[in-house]
């Protein structure tokens, strides 16, 4: 009975809000008709008119790029491990051992992915020119985020430093990097870095891309962390000093944990933006997810099927970004619970 009454009250509230007068009623009906027509036409195109052969016949390319077919189980294993870990993080058992070591497990996926992709002990070596698709996109995002976060934290602390030279240098770097377009930084990483290296020394183009993304994103992360640091009351620092904590202990146990918790929504936006910005690498020769789509459209068999390809790519990007957002929201909730318990 309570559920029925709640439903009735909900619909009464909707009626009161959307159909309170003649103007609201007309606008509401027009919007409903417009949304209905759009949805009907979209579903009709998806089901009856679109030719999804360009997607179905090229699914391995979207996932793994030109990775050797007999070795595709390696990137597939890594992607499945990331999905499994995401599920365990969100809905896994509340085992103390698992929850305590979850961060270490997440960090461990990076060397696992590099070992599986590069090869090595027990695996045949595969050069990075064969990497591509969703695998390369995720690798660029994960590695760049992993290196950008500590670098951004150091930059934020340096900008808050009492030493003028350190504060000025970090400010110049952050402001300068934020004033440069990302594509220019990526061009620097791919085309100019090899010119500055000694003869005979080469850096893999994937690592050059990770290096460029790290330099760029860390400047934005530094500002997010700095905002979190500025929101911490000075009374907490004074209390830590009264307890006998030194400067490094205050940073480790008081400032950084709270700044990360406060800046987590902004850091999530940076991670999602980084995942989307990896599509710029298609301009510079790395065949990531968008690059695979462009190479498929260059095939005479699929010329003109732009809508199907880009709708599929949009769905893939949306799915991965949604997973990242849900994981960040779950982490934020757990951090708030831990703070409340504390």
Q: What is the DSSP string of 139-208?
A: HHHHHHHHHHHHHHHHHHHHHT-S-HHHHHHHHHHHHHHHTS-HHHHHHIIIIIHHHHSPTT----HHHH
What is the Cα gyration radius of the chain?
25
Flag whether pLDDT at 179 surpasses 90: yes
Mean pLDDT in the chain? Answer: 87
Q: What is the pLDDT of residue 93?
A: 80
Q: What is the pLDDT of residue 175?
A: 93
* Residue 45 sits in the same domain as residue 102: no
CA gap 66, 131 in Å, rounded? 6
Q: What is the pLDDT of residue 15?
A: 67
Q: Is position 54 within any domain?
A: no
* Residue 229 sits in the same domain as residue 105: yes
* Residue 15 sits in the same domain as residue 130: no
* Residue 199 sits in the same domain as residue 256: yes
Q: Quick count: other Cβ atoms within 10 Å of Cβ 134? A: 21
Which of 169, 139, 164 lies closest to 154 in space, CA to CA?
Answer: 169
CA gap 177, 179 in Å, rounded? 5
86 vs 341: which has the higher pLDDT? 86
Do 147 and 209 contact (CB within 8 A), yes or no? no
Flag whether pLDDT at 1 surpasses 60: no
**Listed range (91-95, 217-221, 223-227, 252-256) with the worst mean pLDDT:** 91-95
128-150 pLDDT, tens digit per residue, is 888 999 999 999 999 999 999 99
Flag whether pLDDT at 219 surpasses 90: yes
* Residue 3 sits in the same domain as residue 145: no
Q: How far is the CA of 85 from the CAs of 21, 37, 109, 281, 315, in angstroms?
A: 51, 40, 9, 27, 22
The percent of residues in the chain predicted with pLDDT above 90, rounded, is: 49
**Would the pTM count as exceeding 0.75?**
yes
Which of 184, 179, 185 lies closest to 212 in space, CA to CA?
Answer: 185
Instruction: Categorize the per-residue pLDDT at 246 as very low, low, confident or very high, splitting at 50, 70 and 90.
Output: confident
Domain that holds residue 142: 59-341
* Residue 44 sits in the same domain as residue 174: no
217 phi/psi in degrees, rounded to 5: -70, -35
Domain count, the chain: 2
Which of 132, 304, 106 lies closest to 206 in space, CA to CA?
Answer: 132
254-278 pLDDT, tens digit per residue, is 899 899 999 999 999 999 999 999 9
Q: What element of type H or E holds 11?
A: helix 2-18
Q: What is the pLDDT of residue 237?
A: 86
CA gap 257, 153 in Å, rounded? 11
* Residue 188 sits in the same domain as residue 319: yes
* Residue 45 sits in the same domain as residue 90: no
* Residue 248 sits in the same domain as residue 269: yes
Flag whether pLDDT at 313 surpasses 70: yes
21 vs 291: which has the higher pLDDT? 291
Q: What is the pLDDT of residue 121?
A: 83
Helix, strand, or coil (residue 120): strand
Q: What is the pLDDT of residue 265?
A: 92
CA gap 233, 58 in Å, rounded? 55
Q: What is the pLDDT of residue 7?
A: 67
Q: Quick count: other Cβ atoms within 10 Å of Cβ 85? A: 17
Q: Which residues contact 331 (CB under 8 A, 6 or more apart)?
A: 264
94 vs 57: which has the higher pLDDT? 57
Q: What is the DSSP letter of 252?
A: I
């Amino acid at each position: 009975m309570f559920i029925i009454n709640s439903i009735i009250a909900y619909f009464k509230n909707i009626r009161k809000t959307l159909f309170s007068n003649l103007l609201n009623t007309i606008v509401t009906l027009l919007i409903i008709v417009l949304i209905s027509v759009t949805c009907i036409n979209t579903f009709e195109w998806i089901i009856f008119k679109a030719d999804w052969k360009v997607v179905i016949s090229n699914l391995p390319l979207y996932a793994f790029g030109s990775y050797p077919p007999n070795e595709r189980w390696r990137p597939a294993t890594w992607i499945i491990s990331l999905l499994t870990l995401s599920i365990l993080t969100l809905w896994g058992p509340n085992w103390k051992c698992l929850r305590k070591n979850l961060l270490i497990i997440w960090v461990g996926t990076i060397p696992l992915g590099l070992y599986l992709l590069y090869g090595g002990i027990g695996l045949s070596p595969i050069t990075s020119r064969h990497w591509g698709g969703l695998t390369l996109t995720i690798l660029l995002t994960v590695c760049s985020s992993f290196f950008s976060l500590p670098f951004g934290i150091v930059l934020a602390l340096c900008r808050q430093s009492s030493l003028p030279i350190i504060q000025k240098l970090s400010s110049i770097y952050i402001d300068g990097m934020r004033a440069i377009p990302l594509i220019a930084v990526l061009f620097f990483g791919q085309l100019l870095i090899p010119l500055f290296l000694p003869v005979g020394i080469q850096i893999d183009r994937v690592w050059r891309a990770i290096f460029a993304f790290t330099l760029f994103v860390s400047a934005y992360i530094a500002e997010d962390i700095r905002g979190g640091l500025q929101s911490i009351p000075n009374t907490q620092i004074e209390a830590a000093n009264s307890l006998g904590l030194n400067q490094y202990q205050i940073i480790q146990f008081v400032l950084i944990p709270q700044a990360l918790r406060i800046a987590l929504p902004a850091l999530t936006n940076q991670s999602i933006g980084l995942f989307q910005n990896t599509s710029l690498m298609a301009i510079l020769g790395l065949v990531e997810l968008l690059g695979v789509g462009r190479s498929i459209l260059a095939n005479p068999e699929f010329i003109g099927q732009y809508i199907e390809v880009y709708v599929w790519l949009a769905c893939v990007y949306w799915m991965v970004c949604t997973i990242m957002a849900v994981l960040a929201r779950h982490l934020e909730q757990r951090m708030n619970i831990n703070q409340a318990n504390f």
